[in-house]
Chain A
């Protein structure tokens, strides 16, 4: 009891350095846990992007590529799906619903998606949440557009704003569909998914703005006015991909195989969940790198602690000689120093966790708004507790360095401090 009390008093005597040590460990632990939180948050919002869709169908390609261009709107499709094939798949008995996706145009760097009003009914994210309109409603007129929340917020559009869509998906575009402007009919609520950065128009609209184009350029002298185009039949010739919902999950594999073996054109059908897993496997390396870096920071903080204890060791040789003279064994002195290291690490871990949760509570809305990252504020998971325990263990192990030195010194010093 007295030994413990004296050890605490000794630590209090060195309060300034002890506090700095605890702070360094706390910040490193906060980083370690924070990186873990961001990692899980990123993975979660990744996995939350699409839900309730059983298959995504597109031209034959790799699963990840199809997922990236259809759901994440990253990259471009290698090929299209003909309208006939789309209708063919749509008419299969297993299919409950099907939503076409037509990509290829953009507006100020945001992708334009041609689809049907069913999209707003069937696209689900984060455990089956449907899309909600923050203002207005789905497209009704041929030249109506529904904006994702980021598009509206960043470009300052409101219901009724007029928009010109550019051909191609580059951020800077030289060819615009300026003869056929769109009117904003609805703005979607924030989802934290790529939907936020998408402009939604009807499939017919996509067809309409390209009707007088050939090979990616307007054909000179053949312009069709916006008024004229309304009178034409606007059945799309092809789409980029389609999201499919099935009546029964059991038929997923069967339909997937049938689509893959579709004879009229080479198609692929992927299960979004499986492709997400595959994609995450690729990103995993970066994740590991992040974790390694934060682990290094913790190691640095612990090294700092070892250094601090080591530098105070010389001043404390007197203290150890006194303890030895009253009968303390060198092992007791070793234990005392190791306990001190564990105590400092433990304090750092607790303080760091508190620091993280406090900043999470304050920063969560901002992070969500700026990065669309949903960070969960939950009690540490078993894995996180294990990480923290590992930090404390590392603290103990590194504390053994000064402890063994003290042990050797106290054996050599005996009762008098030898220099």
Chain B
């Protein structure tokens, strides 16, 4: 009895992301449409979302991160229905609670590495105070970079563009992680890296995510990465995509 109850309350209560009946169409004549009927994630869960290109991965991430607002449905992130938030409030929400890593070109190429890492903090007060709790935000950035395998000598005094692609991805990870946002969203962060570097990058990312108890959602077309995740989900099992805006 108690066991069932625990399970029931687990599905009920602390879901960090809950989507139901969400639908979004990109503006424009060839409006791509995505519909997600039911999708949820637990806190601290590490999820790999797999799907071929064009299956709506980017659109799903845009919805989750509040870049776009669903036309209908409930999009609950950290207990807030961000579908009901204003544009500005969603931008603030993203800055405070979500760290994002892109496939590539993550950094402002002319900026310093440290500036790139602390960049989100200028939009997120709570994250900033968390990052600067023990020392300064810049020191926290250096600590994160060090634990991601980047020594100060690798990046001091040079613009971010002078780093190798693998190093740049680690800087991007540090930027996503700084100030401990609750959710990390990674959009094929390893696809620009070769096999060895992929593994090394994921090792570093996972150890940081585990240490902070962060929820991680990563999309990829590579199912081979799945073994390291708590759950692997094919995108077409939760979402329907339609090129001409005709999804139902």
Name A residues whose Cβ lies closer than 8 Å to a Cβ of B.
1-3, 5-6, 9-10, 12-13, 318-319, 322-331, 412, 414-416, 418
Q: Is the CB of B123 within 8 A of A415?
A: no
Tell whether, in the assembled complex, residue B175 and residue A326 are in contact, meaning their CB atoms are under 8 Å apart. Answer: yes
**B contact residues around A2 at 8 Å (CB):** 115, 118-119, 121-122
| Cα A318 to Cα B108 with chains together (Å) | 8
Interface hits, B99-133 → A, CB 8 Å: 100, 102, 105-111, 115, 118-124
Does B94 lie at the interface of the complex (its beta carbon under 8 Å from any beta carbon of A)? yes
In the bound complex, residues from chain B placing their C-beta under 8 Å from that of A322 are 102, 105-108, 119
Selected contact of B122 from candidates A3, A318, A414, A416, CB within 8 Å: A3
Interface of A is mostly: helix
Given contacts A1-B122, A415-B67, A416-B58, contact A327 B27 (CB under 8 A): no
Contact present for B95 and A326 (CB under 8 Å) = yes
Q: Which residue of A lies closest to B59 (CB)?
A: A414
| Contact B110–A326 (Cβ < 8 Å) | no
- Which of A5, A10, A416 has the most B CB atoms < 10 Å from its CB? A416
Query: B108 to A6, Cβ gap below 8 A?
Result: yes
Hey, which chain A residues are within 8 Å of B107, CB to CB? 322
What residue of chain A has the Cβ atom nearest to residue B107's Cβ?
Answer: A322
Among the listed B67, B121, B175, which residue makes an inter-chain contact with A324, where contact means beta carbons less than 8 Å apart?
B67
Q: Measured between C-beta atoms, what is the minimum distance from B169 to chain A in Å?
A: 14
| Partner among A6, A10, A414 whose Cβ is within 8 Å of the Cβ of B68 | A414
Give the segment of B36-44, B85-93, B210-218 that binds chain A: B85-93
Partner of A327, one of B96, B102, B109, B159: B96
B61 at the interface (CB under 8 A from A): yes
C-alpha gap A1/B138 in the complex (Å): 14
**Could you tell me the distance between the alpha carbons of A326 and B102 in the complex, rounded to whole angstroms?**
11
CB of B65 within 8 A of CB of A325, answer: yes
A326-B108 contact in complex given A1-B122, A2-B122, A3-B122, C-beta closer than 8 Å: no
Is B158's CB within 8 Å of the partner chain A?
no
Q: Which residues of B approach A to under 8 Å, CB–CB? A: 26-28, 58, 61-62, 65, 67-68, 87-88, 91-92, 94-96, 100, 102, 105-111, 115, 118-124, 159, 175, 187
Chain B residue at minimum C-beta to C-beta distance from A10: B110
A5, B159: Cα distance in complex, Å: 13
Chain A residues contacting B102 (CB-CB under 8 Å) are 322, 325, 415-416
> Provided the pairs A327-B96, A327-B120, A415-B102 are in contact, do residues A9 and B62 lie with their beta carbons within 8 angstroms?
no
Q: Least Cβ distance of A274 to chain B in Å? A: 63
Q: A320 to chain B: closest CB distance in Å?
A: 10
Report chain B residues within 8 Å CB of A331: 88
Of A10, A325, A331, A414, most buried by chain B (CB within 10 Å of CB) is A325
Closest to B127 in A: A327
Q: Is the CB of B123 within 8 A of A326?
A: yes
Q: Which of B27, B58, B87, B121 contacts A412 (CB 8 A)?
A: B27
- Chain B residue nearest to A1 (CB atoms) is B122
Closest to B57 in A: A416
- Residues from chain B with Cβ under 8 Å of A13 in the complex: 109-110
Please give me the residue from chain B that is nearest to A330 by CB atom.
Answer: B87
Residues of B within 8 A of A12 (CB): 110
Listed A/B pairs (11) with beta-carbon separation below 8 Å: A1-B122, A2-B118, A3-B122, A12-B110, A324-B91, A325-B94, A325-B102, A326-B100, A327-B96, A327-B123, A415-B61
Give the distance in Å from the alpha carbon of A414 to the alpha carbon of B124 in the complex: 19
Give the contacting residue for B111; candidates A9, A412, A415; CB below 8 A: A9
Residues of the A chain whose Cβ atoms lie less than 8 Å from the Cβ of B118: 2
With contact pairs A5-B115, A319-B108, A322-B108 given, residues A327 and B58 touching in the complex (Cβ less than 8 Å) = no
